[in-house]
Structure 1
Amino acid sequence: MPESILQQQLKKEQPFESLELETFLNLLRTHNMIAASPGRLMKRHGLSSAQYNILKILDSHLGEGVPCLEIVQQMVTRVPDITRLVDRLAEAELVERNRSESDRRVVMITITPKGRELVETIRLPLLEIHKQNLGHMTEGELSQLNRLLVKARIRAEATPLCDGSE
């Protein structure tokens, strides 16, 4: 079997143990390469990708507060401690916390004008980065890639987060 491109890039002499392993490593390497530029952009603005994701979620709920649990459900990546992320955004005056009028146990998070301004500042440069990273692919290729990524993710999303060692 001829060497794969990833095998050559990693200077790996032996073939991968399985096609699934090679695919996983390809996904991981691709993610790291594609996520680097957006990560640097976020860092220049004092944010992590997860914090920016929270701001985008809040920005889409015009004027409404959003409970933390709903934010977690809408996030692209799973985060272990939403409270800590929101704390940092609140310290930077990008979000505010308010108790729900109807249920005092629920804390609603809203984006501030400063937070909206930051989202808008980042929006176009981020779109340009995505075009630079993926613009060489046709719409058909991007659609096919999206379908395949969703198909690959379905089983992982249905699998509990434990590794069976408990």
Structure 2
Amino acid sequence: MAQSNLQQELRKKQPFDSLEQAAILNILRTSDIFHNQFGKLFREYGLTPSQYNVLRILRGEGKPMPSLEIASRMVQVVPAITGLLDRLQAQELVKRKRCTEDRRVVYIEITPKALKLLKQIDEPDLELHRKLIGHLSKDELRELSRLLEKARTSLTSASSD
């Protein structure tokens, strides 16, 4: 049987143990490549992908948000949201405000400096998306998203039980 592209990329002599293993390794390999490309882009602007994600969430919401709500919306789970917010605050990209009704709740607000930074990143970010998967047709992109969402459903339905 002919080797798969991934098998050749990884210089794996034996076939994968299952189609599921090959598919997951393909997802992980692709994710790693994409993550590295976006990490490189965001570093040019002094951000990590997680910091960019926080700022993107805040800009999209358009108003201050509780820190735990931001954490729940992150693309990648961040174990230490407080440290991440500390670094963004040190860069003057977010401000913190304690809730007056419940002192345990901290609201995070995006600053004008962060909005200006995001505006600079918007076009290079879109361009990188196009570079990475712009060669796929609209139908292929929809199908890819559908299949990835379907693959996650076994986890999301199991975790809500």
TM-score of the superposed pair, with normalisation by structure 2:
0.93
Q: CA deviation at 1:101?
A: 3.0
AA at the equivalent of 1:111: I
Query: 1:64-103 alignment to 2 at 5 Å?
Result: 64-103=63-102
Q: Which residue of 1 aligns with 2:2?
A: 2
Q: CA deviation at 1:46?
A: 1.5
**Unaligned 5+ residue runs, structure 2?**
none
Q: CA deviation at 1:154?
A: 1.5
Query: 1:8-157 alignment to 2 at 5 Å?
Result: 8-62=8-62, 64-157=63-156
SS at match of 2:17: coil
Q: What is the alpha-carbon distance in structure 2 between the residues aligned to residue 81 and residue 49 of structure 1? A: 14
- Range 87-96 or range 38-47, more displaced: 38-47
Q: What is the alpha-carbon distance in structure 2 between the residues aligned to residue 52 and residue 158 of structure 1? A: 28
- Measured against aligned partners, the alpha-carbon deviations of 1:20-79 in whole angstroms (never above 9, x if no partner) come to 1111110111112222221101111111111100001111122x2100111011111111
- Measured against aligned partners, the alpha-carbon deviations of 1:115-142 in whole angstroms (never above 9, x if no partner) come to 1111111111000000011110000000
Q: What is the alpha-carbon distance in structure 2 between the residues aligned to residue 10 and residue 41 of structure 1? A: 25
Q: What is the alpha-carbon distance in structure 2 between the residues aligned to residue 135 and residue 89 of structure 1? A: 31
Q: What is the alpha-carbon distance in structure 1 between the residues aligned to residue 102 and residue 89 of structure 2? A: 21
Q: CA deviation at 1:99?
A: 1.1
SS at match of 1:60: helix
Q: CA deviation at 1:12?
A: 1.0
AA at the equivalent of 1:97: R
Q: Which residue of 2 aligns with 1:163?
A: none
Residue 128 and residue 6 in structure 1: after superposition, are their counterparts in 2 closer, same or farther (change >3 A)?
same
AA at the equivalent of 1:61: E
Q: CA deviation at 1:103?
A: 2.4
Q: What is the alpha-carbon distance in structure 2 between the residues aligned to residue 159 and residue 82 of structure 1? A: 25
Q: What is the alpha-carbon distance in structure 1 between the residues aligned to residue 158 and residue 110 of structure 2? A: 33
- Range 103-112 or range 130-139, more displaced: 103-112
